[in-house]
Amino acid sequence: MKPDATATWNSALLRRAVLDSLVKLDPRALRRNPVILLTAAGALAVTVAALRDLLAGALTGFTLQLTLWLWFTVLFANFAEAVAEGRGKAQADSLKRARARTFARRLRGGAEERIAASDLRKGDTVVCTAGDIIPADGEVTEGIASVDESAVTGESAPVVRESGGDRCAVTGGTRVLSDRIVVRVTAEPGGGFLDRMINLVEGASRQRTPNEIALGILLVAMSALFLGVVATLPFFARYSEALAGQAGVVDVSLPVLVALLVCLIPTTIGGLLSAIGISGIDRLIRRNVIATSGRAVEAAGDIDVLLLDKTGTITLGNRQAVAFIPAPGITAERLASAAQLASLADETPEGRSIAVLAKEKFNLRQREVAAPHAVFVPFAAQTRMSGVDLGGVRTRKGAADSVRAWVEAQGGSWSAEVAAAADAIGPAAARRWSWPRITLCSASSISRMSSRAASRSVSPSSGAWASAP
């Protein structure tokens, strides 16, 4: 699930930021930033002085300009923070809309009812079949299925989730690829994976880093120091005037003192500190990276090269067939035809990619096989195979070890050529991101395919099929 990109100067975003900057004038919001709170207090004091002068007919241009500039400073700091927060909120809104479009089939009294995923509660039981989005975090209580968790982990290979053991946990937002499972919801509303992701994107749970805390303490200390300096100026001015015998020559009116204070304290740094932290998280979000803390944002700023420790992190969310290589005596077109036929009952991305590859390589159209004349064997997580029995011919396609077990169970023998091809491609999976798939036709010809996760940064080289009589 990928958040939508949001333009920095989007008109809707700017309108929202303007309104938020006014809302942030609330002292309860300003107190999180003591420097801006002090500036806002000075702006309020100067405004009161300006109104007093206006009623007395003594308002000067200096006081009017100072009032406008002080409020502009406060509003600009609020606006900068609101823009940074607004981008995160826009990303979170897109995730919330995706969440709202997810429905669940809840079991009540043995019957299924269709409800929104947001209406699920901890302890509810839902049914998920092939193609369904798992609506909430939970545990599998019945069945076994292949689940595509690439939206969560980035791993392209489907994983098996089954009841019991340590493989029963499922995550909301992942997709069931095959079979049927019953899931018991284990997360309360607002506590699931998608909800935690939304909170992180919104920045609601953003913790300040040690550097931010230290800088904040420094800014407060400097502001307090300069506040003390400015507060003593009227006394020094009166003392100097008394010594010189020239009363009233030093202007220490409230607007002048506030202007001096705002110039002395680190107003710019204090005003933009929060916006800098939030914009750092936003920059990572635009690159599809979610920072779980401010410390992670600071660390990301020092990274020049990122080394990833598993294949799925830099691959697309599915695996694709890339080549047909037949064994001796078997043509590549015959192999592609058998593999396509065996994939008719395979609804996984890998199975569909075989039909696409056969069409692209040999212009083989996907065939419609009438059910009365054919017995389909759908792909299942238990068997890791799919196929069809048609006209006395049994065609199977699946993982190498699964097909081998099926062949031996039928009284057949495993070809040494195919075994050698499997051993050749298997160790290369970590280097070339390829996985073997075997096609068996009537227990008389065995073919081998290599499927591969499509890389974003590296073009996949050819995989391998092999067949043997």
Nearest to 38 by CA among 83, 11, 77: 77
Distance, in Å, from the CA atom of 150 to the CA atom of 158, rounded to the nearest integer, reads: 8
Q: At what angle do helices 294-301 and 210-244 cross, to 10 degrees?
A: 90
- 3-class secondary-structure state, position 437: strand
HSE value, Cβ hemisphere, 13 Å, CA-based, for 18: 6
Beta-carbon contacts of residue 283 (< 8 Å; ≥ 6 apart): none
| Amino acid residing at 256 | V
Handedness of CA 288, 293, 294, 299 (dihedral sign): negative
Q: Catalytic site residue 309?
A: yes
**Among candidate residues 248, 254, 266, the one with its CA nearest the CA of residue 230:** 254
* 397, two tokens: 């396609």
Instruction: Compute, in degrees rounded to 10, the torsion defined by CA atoms 50, 51, 54, 58.
Output: -40
Q: Where are the beta strands (DSSP E) in 149-274?
A: 159-162, 169-170, 175-176, 180-185
Cα–Cα dist 217/273, whole Å: 12
Report how far residue 338's alpha carbon sits from residue 332's, in angstroms, rounded to the nearest whole number: 10
Place of tokens 């049927």: 180
Q: Residue 159, SS3?
A: strand
Residue tagged active-site, from 282, 302, 309, 346: 309
CA distance linking residue 361 with residue 469, whole number of Å: 23
SS3 281: helix
> Could you give the angle at which helices 210-244 and 34-56 cross, rounded to 10 degrees?
40
Residues 459, 462, 465, 466, Cα dihedral to 10°: -150
Choose among 413, 416, 436: nearest CA to 325. 436
Question: In the chain, what are the helix, strand and coil shares in percent, each to the nearest 5?
Answer: 50, 20, 30
Active site residues: 309
